[in-house]
Structure 1
Amino acid sequence: MEQVYDITPKPAHYTCVIDLLGRAGRLKEAQALVEEMPFEPDPTTWGALLGASRVHHEPEIGKWAAEKILELEPNNSGMYVLLSNIYASYGKWSDVQKTRVLMGERRVRKVPGFSWIEVKNKVHTFSVGDSAHPETKRIYQFLEELDLKMKKAGYVSATEMVLHDIEEEEKVHMLRYHSERLAVAFGILNVPFGRPIRVIKNLRVCEDCHNAIKYIAKIENRLIILRDSNRFHHFSDGSCSCGDYW
């Protein structure tokens, strides 16, 4: 950049390269570039490294990046959750508990997750394990039937995403009724076939739900559009427009 185009690289340029290296799975090179860059990395830079570590299963790098973000943004509740995810995925329940205690000490509250879908000019809102919706029984029954079809197609619940030291069966049950899945199920049951199902979530879609919705889109032959806090996800025929990187 400097020799050919006479452009001095700025922090944003370094972040882009770190993100590209991370997407390519070259985590060690991305980590080295973070350490060598002539600026103090900002939360965006650390976030690029954190995202890559999650996708490519590099927990130590992910922990390092998440802790750096918390130093810069001690009230970022999403980072505490991501750090807890990293610990939980490796069964480090004492560290999960320490992270929760730290949130309490700093008076940081986790933002509750909600998903919305509009059907016939009416907005329907769901939370995890929601039982308040008038069609709850129908939605839950449909999800149970769908779960059997998904397992036959190869779906396996990512129970390491559950931040509780509980039995495996209970973890599967908790994941099945996340807000985005309830909203998607309601959409399939109520939106005419051939029309897209559009869901909005206020937080980042969890890894297990992202995987599950890919299966759901293929099994039900539906286009499902999910807008989470990061981006739009277009699920169709077993794949997502984000390429499983978000």
Structure 2
Amino acid sequence: MHQEFGVTAKAEHYTCMIDLLGRAGRLEEAEALMKDMPFEPDGTMWGALLGASRKHGNTKLGEKAAERIFEMEPDNSGMYVLLSNLYAASGKWKNVGKLRLMMKEKGVKKVPGFSWIEVQNKVHTFSAGDSIHPEKDRIYAFLEELDMKMKKAGYVSATEMVLHDVEEEEKEHMLKYHSEKLAVAFGILNMPLGRPVRVIKNLRVCEDCHNAIKYISAIENRLIILRDSNRFHHFSGGLCSCGDYW
């Protein structure tokens, strides 16, 4: 950058490179780059390393990254969730419990996930396992049908995302009714063919829902546009515009 284009690398450039190396599984290189930077790493950089550690199952590095983040951003609930995901995926349920207790003692509250969709000039809001919406029975029945079709097409639930020490069947059930899936199902049921289904979520779409919505877009032959806290996702024909990189 500097030699060929005269551009001095700033913090955001280093953050992108750390994230890129981490996603590629080159965690040692990502950490080494952080050590060699001309300035101290910030919470965003450590967050990228924690996310990569979760993705690649490196508990030791993930704990190190989380420790730094908690020093800088003690109220960042998203980072507690990332570390919990890492522990859960590794089967370390005692650590998950300790982390929940730590959050409670520090007064850190996990932001609940909500999804919104507008149909006929009315906004419908969904939470995970929603039992309030007047069309809940119809939505749940439709999701059950979709689940069977998706599994026939090759879909497998990402049960490692569930932060509870329960049986696999129960984990699948918990994943099935996330807010974005409910909103997407409602949109398909109530919007005419040819119209895109547009959903907004206040948090980052989870890995399982992202995968499931790809399958749903192909099975139902619908364009599904999901705006989460990171970016827009355009699902069509079983693919997402983000290329599974978000």
The whole-number CA distance in structure 1 between the counterparts of 2:152 and 2:6 is 57
**TM-score (norm. length: structure 2):** 0.94
Aligned to 1:152: 152
Contact 2:80-2:99 at 8 Å conserved across structures: yes
Contact 1:115-1:201 at 8 Å conserved across structures: yes
- Residues 220 and 60 from structure 1, CA distance in 2 versus in 1: closer, same or farther, beyond 3 angstroms? farther
Aligned to 2:83: 83
Q: Does 1:31 align with 2:31?
A: yes
Amino acid at match of 2:230: N
Contact 1:178-1:209 at 8 Å conserved across structures: yes
Deviation at 1:138, TM superposition (A): 0.4
Range with greater deviation from structure 2 (46-55 or 215-224): 46-55
Aligned to 1:214: 214
Aligned to 1:20: 20
Contact 2:199-2:225 at 8 Å conserved across structures: yes
The whole-number CA distance in structure 2 between the counterparts of 1:197 and 1:59 is 38
The whole-number CA distance in structure 2 between the counterparts of 1:118 and 1:2 is 48
Deviation at 1:61, TM superposition (A): 3.1
SS in structure 2 opposite 1:200? strand
SS in structure 2 opposite 1:118? strand
Counting matched residue pairs gives 246
Range with greater deviation from structure 2 (161-170 or 10-19): 10-19
Contact 1:30-1:49 at 8 Å conserved across structures: yes
Superposition pairs of residues 28-67 of structure 1, within 5 angstroms? 28-67=28-67
Deviation at 1:68, TM superposition (A): 2.0
Superposition pairs of residues 1-246 of structure 1, within 5 angstroms? 1-246=1-246
**TM-score (norm. length: structure 1):** 0.94
The whole-number CA distance in structure 2 between the counterparts of 1:142 and 1:130 is 14
Contact 1:63-1:86 at 8 Å conserved across structures: no
Contact 1:222-1:236 at 8 Å conserved across structures: yes
Please list every run of at least 4 consecutive aligned residues from structure 1 whose deviation after the TM superposition is greater than 6 angstroms.
Answer: none
- Residues 59 and 240 from structure 1, CA distance in 2 versus in 1: closer, same or farther, beyond 3 angstroms? farther
Identity of aligned residues (%): 76
Deviation at 1:64, TM superposition (A): 2.8
Task: For structure 2, list consecutive stretches of 5 or more residues without a partner in the other structure.
Answer: none
Contact 2:54-2:83 at 8 Å conserved across structures: no
Deviation at 1:56, TM superposition (A): 4.1
Task: For structure 1, list consecutive stretches of 5 or more residues without a partner in the other structure.
Answer: none
The whole-number CA distance in structure 1 between the counterparts of 2:244 and 2:54 is 11
Deviation at 1:35, TM superposition (A): 2.1
- Residues 243 and 62 from structure 1, CA distance in 2 versus in 1: closer, same or farther, beyond 3 angstroms? farther
User: How far does the alpha carbon of each residue in 1:20-43 deviate from its partner, in whole angstroms, 9 at most, with x for none?
Assistant: 323443322112111222311001
Contact 1:55-1:245 at 8 Å conserved across structures: no
The whole-number CA distance in structure 2 between the counterparts of 1:13 and 1:171 is 38
The whole-number CA distance in structure 1 between the counterparts of 2:53 and 2:235 is 23
The Cα RMSD (Å) is 1.6
